[in-house]
Structure 1
């Protein structure tokens, strides 16, 4: 199996989100698959391409630098967060100094490819998502900003409802900076982009690459939904998978499809090849995430490792890919407090362990790196 093994460095406190001058696709372009052409190869032409899109009204550039409050609604869930250029130039030496906590390892070559792509584009095309628990004072300030008329509001092509406020008042920016400076954030989405930001900062210190585009979401205010990412295991027989699971010390019980799916909760996993179903009750899931238990205790006990793991964001997607030649492991949703406690004690989850949803549509807000 091709596993991620490298943990990127940790950005140090104070957490800083710096104002920048955003570029945004027009409402009719946000979420349109055809808009990906603006950010496609050759990457060195992206800056010129965006300028052309701005000239013809398919994109817009904000008139000046700002912090942005971005609120989006998708599938009945509303998320809002502060968007700015995250200062990346200081590294943490101790646990207490860490401002940003990745919870997955990364593939260095993938991070390197993303860094080269952003360098050629001269652009951060989308924010990484950071999650924290802000103070009541910060929530009150965000509420105050959100009570004003948005600078931009629209329904994009995917059905996401977008609202954005540009925060330009220097006192408000300074107050936000003070209130977030001591935050410790879980990196919810964008581990490879975060690593690419760090690489670009190391290669171009003292330039605008000292920062990278980020969105800071308060999990106590408008929480992201934390879902599981399920697995299918090509070439692994279900009987072999069940034997390895029992050898790992779990109670494995044959169930009907309905009973097995009904047992999928914080204490159970499900194994199936689409025809036969098992509910799995590992010991110790109060101390360990189910996905970690699978990777640390079950997969190493297989006689031969699968050539790859296939990842699926929904049970339905996983079951569609399931067959006797590729059984599925359906996982319970992780617990946010458990994930946070794990990473803040210095631990990590396996690659693609969590799915924070919903994510904002591509093109709502981008950062030209050398544009102030």
Structure 2
């Protein structure tokens, strides 16, 4: 199994979000799968392709740089955050200096491929998602901005309702900069793109690549939903999994489907091959996420390692993929405070440990590097 093992560098304080001049797909094309052609191979043609789309009215470029307040609603859940060019030129030498905290390791080759792609595209095609606990003054400021009339407001092709405010007032931008300076934020989505930003910056210092597109969400304001990512293990039997869990000190109990799924909470995992159902109680998980316990305590005790690990973002998909030759492990949702405490104490979660949802549709806000 090829586990991610490299932790990208930490960006140092002060945290900065810089104004940029956004390129946006036309509202009727945001979330449209056919619009992905604008960002498709050959990547070196993307910049000219977007210019053509702007001329044809299929995309637009903002009139001037701004930091954007972006609010989107998906399936009844509303998320809002500040979108800007995240400064990545400074590296932290100590934990106290860290502004951006990854919570997963990355595959360097994947980050390299993304860096090469963005370099050819001359574009940050989508913001990475960062979450933090902001100051009350910042939340009040964001609320005040949101009371104004949005500069853009529409329902996209996926059903997400988009509202966007361009923030250009110099006094407001200065207040945002001051209130963000000492922020510590967690990378919620986009670990490999974050690492690609750092690589591009190292290769192109003093250019527009000194920053990368990011959306900063206040988890105390409009929290992202933090869900589990479940696993199936081809090449393993459920008896092997249960035995490895017992060897790691857990209690394993046979259950019927209903009682097993009902027991899936912060203290239990569930094993199933579609026929057999078992609950696993590792004991005290107060200081350790269930997914970390699975990877660090259980997988190494399997008599035969799995052929690979397959990841599933919901229980239904995991159950569909499970079988006698690929049992599933259903995991409880992580707790944001637990994840944050683990990361800020120097720990990491396994790859694909968390699913922060919902993510914004592609094409709402993009950052061209030839007009940063």
Match runs of 1:41-80 below 5 Å: 41-80=41-80
- Structure 1 residue 370: deviation in Å? 2.1
- The equivalent residue for 2:90 is 90
- The equivalent residue for 2:369 is 369
- Structure 1 residue 116: deviation in Å? 0.3
Distance 2:303 2:369 in 1: 49
Cα shift readout 1:76-133 (whole Å, capped 9, x = no counterpart):
1000000000000000000000000000000000000000000000000000000000
Match runs of 1:161-310 below 5 Å: 161-310=161-310
Distance 2:307 2:187 in 1: 28
Distance 1:162 1:118 in 2: 25
Distance 1:106 1:369 in 2: 24
Distance 2:133 2:75 in 1: 23
- Structure 1 residue 65: deviation in Å? 0.2
- The equivalent residue for 1:114 is 114
- Structure 1 residue 183: deviation in Å? 0.3
Cα shift readout 1:226-245 (whole Å, capped 9, x = no counterpart):
00000000010111111111
Pair 1:324 & 2:333 matched: no
- The equivalent residue for 2:355 is 355
Give the secondary-structure state (helix, strand or coil) at the position aligned to 1:144: helix
Distance 1:234 1:75 in 2: 33
- Structure 1 residue 284: deviation in Å? 2.2
Distance 1:200 1:247 in 2: 45
User: Contact 2:39 / 2:46 at 8 angstroms: preserved in 1?
Assistant: yes
Distance 2:370 2:337 in 1: 38
Distance 1:307 1:41 in 2: 31
| Structure 1 vs Structure 2 CA RMSD | 0.5
How many residue pairs get matched?
A: 372
- Structure 1 residue 287: deviation in Å? 1.2
Q: What is the TM-score of this pair, normalised by structure 2?
A: 1.00
Distance 2:208 2:307 in 1: 41
Cα shift readout 1:23-80 (whole Å, capped 9, x = no counterpart):
0001111000011100000000000000011111110000010000000000110000
- The equivalent residue for 1:7 is 7
User: Contact 2:235 / 2:305 at 8 angstroms: preserved in 1?
Assistant: no
Distance 2:27 2:304 in 1: 50
- Structure 1 residue 304: deviation in Å? 1.9
- Structure 1 residue 292: deviation in Å? 0.1
Q: What is the TM-score of this pair, normalised by structure 1?
A: 1.00
Distance 1:287 1:10 in 2: 23
- Structure 1 residue 307: deviation in Å? 1.8
Cα shift readout 1:237-280 (whole Å, capped 9, x = no counterpart):
11111111110100000000000000000000000000000010
Distance 2:216 2:354 in 1: 18
Give the secondary-structure state (helix, strand or coil) at the position aligned to 2:274: coil
Give the secondary-structure state (helix, strand or coil) at the position aligned to 1:370: helix
List alignment gaps of at least 5 residues for structure 1.
none
- The equivalent residue for 1:157 is 157
Give the secondary-structure state (helix, strand or coil) at the position aligned to 2:193: helix
Distance 2:209 2:287 in 1: 39
